[in-house]
Chain A
Amino acid sequence: MGKTVPLTIDGKDVEAASGQTILEVAREQGIYIPTLCHYSRTTNVGACRVCVVEVEKAKSLVASCCMPVSPGMIIKTDSPRVKAARKLIVELLWASGDHNCLNCEQNGACELQNLIYWLEIEKPRFPIEHPGYDIEKTNTMIQRDLNKCILCGRCIRACNEIQVNEILDFSQRGSRAKVGPAFDTDYIDSDCYFCGECADACPVGAITFKQARFAGRPWEVKKVKTTCTYCGVGCQMDLNVHDNRIVKVTGNRAYEQPNEGSLCIKGRFGLDFISHPDRLTTPLIRKKKGGELVPATWDEAYGFISQRLFAIKKKTGPDSIAGLSSARCTNEENYLFQKFMRAVIGTNHVDHCARL
């Protein structure tokens, strides 16, 4: 910890840590400053400027997300000048794209929409210019509608600085600027790994999960925190549930370890199996060797198994019975399974298939 920096923010004297930005200090103090391009754990680029504040003696308004504090700073986060600037910026953003919320997936969870409401903007003072891009629907996982893109660059930093997959970048600068994979290709034709980090990062409806399209509004969806069922990283994730169906999987950066909100394609887009029609829904028994597997009740199945197991145990002993547990089942289930094999059957022939 370095030395502290005395400063005044909205009339309050505070001690900040040196190296902190104005935004960080404000948040610690419970002062709300809106942001769009700022995305924690990535570089602050100062692109959107909705986070501007007034610093006494500074010529112009400063972007609070990029500006480190210095001793004696007097900061105003809510002056008329700040308010006017924010409003102008947000109106420009609104007018620069096709922000028609009626059928947008982000409606209700959109940071731009929230900001417009918070700033009480009736309508932008500039004419709305539809950029006229085609909606990218060439893959089944991620849909891109760059008509809604506010060029905050969060997707680019998520891809390059968080996942370090190094797929996305700005393709041109200025008013023709556009985000996407190299050579302006669609995701499916690029080396994209479909981790979905960019979609989680996008504050608006420009990058969304295609399979969740029309599958439930943000406020209708229940998020259930769980652990990914695939590899040993054990990523924490939110299953987004609507009508008893998982409509999408999102990361949550507040969950911290082990994955800090990141996921890969398997955890993100690999869960269709859950609602697949081929799932087993009833016990099946093959009464005679060579016969067919036919549906049965649980009682019949338990009866059949216990009768056979008892008979085999009696005839050839407990060590003629073996159990294979699973590295995909829970701890509780593995515990019970080995307990069953050891205490009920009486054998140590129990293993799981993870050696394979």
Chain B
Amino acid sequence: MTNSIEEIEFTDVILATGTNTTENHPVISSRIKRAVRQRGAKLIVIDPREIDLVKYATLWLRQKPGTDVAVLNGMMNVIIEEGIYAKEYVENRTEGFEALKKVVEKYTPEYVEKISGVPVEDLKKAARLYAGAEKASLLYAMGMTQHITGTDNVKSCANLAMLCGKVGIEGGGVNPLRGQNNVQGACDMGALPNVFPAYQSVISDEARVKFEKAWGATLSAKPGKTVVEIAEAAHRGEIKAIYVMGENPLLSDPDITHVEAAFKHLDLLVVQDIFLTETARLADVVLPSACFAEKDGTFTNTERRVQRIRKAVPAPGQAKADWQIISDLSTKMGYPMSYASAEEIMKEIALVTPSYAGITYERIEKEGLQWPCPNTGHPGTRFLHKDRFSRGRGLFHAIEYIPPAELPDRDYPMILSTGRVLYHYHTGTMTRLAKGTMERCPESLVEIHPLDAERLGIQSGQIVKVTSRRGTLQAKAKVTTRSDAGMIFMNFHFHEAAVNLLTNPALDPIGKIPEYKVCAVRVEAA
């Protein structure tokens, strides 16, 4: 997030798009709801589903899945047309405005209505409300990123926010809400194929020399492969060994069958986890690890706040903290790592990671610090881009709308969208073992609109068969108007109804994120 969680409560307008906040980031949703109920803030929801936030919204734009760029361009069209954009800000702090203006010109509200189904008047109202606010916070999550145009969607959000001068101010910003507790930290720490910690590029000689010196090793200048590319390379036999720490890609990957075949191909699969997951079952070596309550360390939350976790209970049996396992293995392989504690590792992190340079366990004992925190006297950073953008001027990207990779046709006439529910998390390995969450949500349901249900002769609770070009599965139907006619929604928490047997592995060319939000399916009574 460019801004902080707390600021959401004290802003004037909240634009929430592609985030089902009450289910996926419940505690942030309380901020939104308090802003609306107690402080008179206005909420604009852009989402194909009638999510709970709609109850609190001033305006709800129900776009067709995957038409986000068109909707955002349409808002910008209105804002530029009516001359209500932040002219001074655009002049002084950004570049590329003319190109943007040219592209959004054709996204008139009428044209956008044709693409997205959002009524002309609603689009205009939303545009005016957002642009006219003194402070406005834009929130988004996986509903924006899990498309082949994910990167375009994100850039369009940034375009809109910059056009209206909403970046670099308290209560403003472009704020991605991260799905998993430490995505932010994993990225910051360089668990990415193209960068070292703090996004220092592996192709930069300067960065590489720095890390070669710090680590006493020769480093590769060739950017690596992303997770989906790794699976493909394994399938082709180019990758022979994979070491997986704490993930279950077999269930979270698009197109499970393909990944399973790829993993079975490997000469060596090492899986380090707390359970014998679907992926671990295929492994040659399984290493038992400690969970978050059994070790010390830090997580970095979605607002860049570095916070402690603390050991509360002992790990079962011989299980060890992941950092201990890596250290031991590395030492065994002739590269000694002899950290006595997680804190010692953080000291090393601070030395090579400029944005974490001021972070010490002592300083975050009471309350976490938000990076950038460049030295030990620095209070941390509540919101980014205050006086300038990291690159100097904020760059507008002129972006055209591209439809989803797979649209409904005669054989597969409906859209399947996937996501999470409040009661479960990711592939369910943890929440499905909890009595409480299972009591509230014991199985996967196929959300289907009453009109479709009637046409297909389906009732709530009945088993239905869902088929895509890639696979088929069965699950119980839930007839509801939450999802629009022509669209069904399923979660991916249940391996019995592994929705990624159906999803389309088409990737966003830059973000390499699969299009989990739109694929074409056929639904029938089973």
Contact = CB atoms under 8 A, between A and B. Distances in A.
Given A226-B312, A264-B422, A332-B297, A164 B37 contact: yes
B331 to A, nearest CB: 9
Interface stretch (A72-80, A119-127, A236-244): A236-244
Interface in B277-333: 280-281, 283-289, 291-295, 297-303, 305-314, 316-323, 326-330, 332-333
Give the one of B239, B285, B346 with max A CB within 10 A: B285
A344 interface: yes
B244 to A, nearest CB: 5
Interface residues of B, number: 148
Given A226-B312, A323-B243, A348-B193, A328 B181 contact: yes
B30 interface: yes
A232 B179 contact: yes
Contacts of B280: 280
Interface stretch (B94-102, B116-124, B219-227): B219-227
Interface string B433-449: 11111011000000000
B185 interface: yes
Interface string A325-346: 1111111111111111111101
A351 B511 CA distance: 12
B267 interface: yes
Contact of B276 (A235, A278, A354): A278
B326 A340 contact: yes
Contacts, number: 473
A336 B219 CA distance: 15
Nearest to B38: A161
A141 B436 contact: yes
A49 B326 CA distance: 59
B429 interface: yes
A281 B317 contact: yes
A282 B318 contact: yes
Interface string A145-174: 000000000000000011110000000000
Give the one of A272, A275, A322 with max B CB within 10 A: A322
A279 B319 contact: yes
A347 to B, nearest CB: 6
A273 B514 contact: no
Contact of B189 (A316, A322, A324, A335): A335
A185 interface: no
A140 B437 CA distance: 9
Interface stretch (B19-27, B77-85, B388-396, B458-466): B19-27
Nearest to B252: A356
Interface in B397-438: 422-425, 429-431, 433-437
Contacts of A89: none
Given A312-B241, A326-B186, A280 B310 contact: no
Contacts of B330: 336, 340, 344
Contact of B286 (A273, A293, A355): A293
Interface string B215-252: 11111101111111010011000111111111111001
Contact of A331 (B185, B228, B436): B185
Given A320-B241, A324-B243, A356-B252, A330 B224 contact: no
Given A302-B329, A335-B197, 17 more contacts: A141-B439, A224-B310, A224-B312, A226-B293, A231-B24, A231-B180, A266-B423, A280-B286, A283-B288, A285-B284, A324-B230, A334-B189, A336-B326, A340-B326, A340-B330, A342-B196, A350-B192
15 contacts: A227-B308, A232-B180, A258-B368, A266-B423, A271-B293, A273-B291, A274-B294, A280-B276, A324-B245, A327-B181, A330-B185, A330-B297, A340-B330, A340-B335, A348-B222
